A = this chain, B = another copy of it.
């Protein structure tokens, strides 16, 4: 039976599908191919966990859903851009994503590069728009945080480390830093965005940031565990790739059992950080547990 969390996550996914469709209307010009690729990627499902985190963090402060939904959409758009570029032949060279061909397989490489580029700018366009928040100060703060989370000291920095950090260089400290950038930066932005929209106090901001930090890392460790234990059917993408490529992961460095213990510890810690918010934060607590209990 679907619990409250499952229901809320499903509703977020449905909401995102509707919202994201609005940002990418049908087009019949010569840019049609680009729009199609952007829609294909952005609307191909996914858990929408990042959107969920924005909305739930913002809900703690009673932020109008109209505002948090727009930031959530922008973040999902950034996530899509990063997946498209990550899947490129010169990067991870993946043919399958969420059970369907990756963008450069369904379209071509040039379209994949351009669709990713256009999605990045679209996210900033959405956040900059007055519909996202009446205060320019809030919007520009969101722009700054998001730009930082994407850039060389955020997600893209982490992706670079991931590509160039080969086998022996990597220890637990390095992979932790790498993953805190590669997947952690956007997850942290999700929670920070909720706090910014909600004019949270500095201690509240800190609590959410710490929560996101631990959650992001647990999420990545769980990903490594799934890559080892999961099936391609369940995941909708190739598994065991890291292992085959001789890539260091939390599982290869810690062993499977230790990785599971570590992930659980991080989730407990993430949940502790939510203490100041009381029962209002229950869905965020569920989200933390979900990060390591999911099967895909």
Q: Give residues in A with beta carbon < 8 Å to B.
A: 29-31, 33-35, 38, 81, 85, 88, 90-91, 108-114, 116-118, 120-122, 124-125, 127-129, 135-137, 139-141, 143-144, 146-148, 150-154, 156-157, 159-161, 163-165, 169, 174, 178
Task: State the CA gap A241–B147 with chains docked (Å).
Answer: 36
Are B143 and A124 in contact, with the CB atoms below 8 A?
yes
Given contacts A128-B147, A148-B125, is CB(A113)–CB(B90) below 8 Å?
Answer: yes
- Closest chain-B Cβ to A188's Cβ sits at a distance in Å of 15
A31-B157, A31-B161, A121-B148 known; 15 other A-B pairs, CB under 8 Å? Answer: A30-B169, A85-B117, A88-B113, A110-B163, A118-B152, A120-B121, A121-B147, A121-B151, A121-B156, A124-B146, A128-B140, A128-B141, A129-B144, A136-B140, A140-B140
Q: How many copies does the complex hold?
A: 2
Q: What 6 A-B pairs come out closest when comparing CB atoms?
A: A90-B109, A125-B147, A128-B144, A121-B150, A30-B161, A121-B151
- Closest chain-B Cβ to A8's Cβ sits at a distance in Å of 30
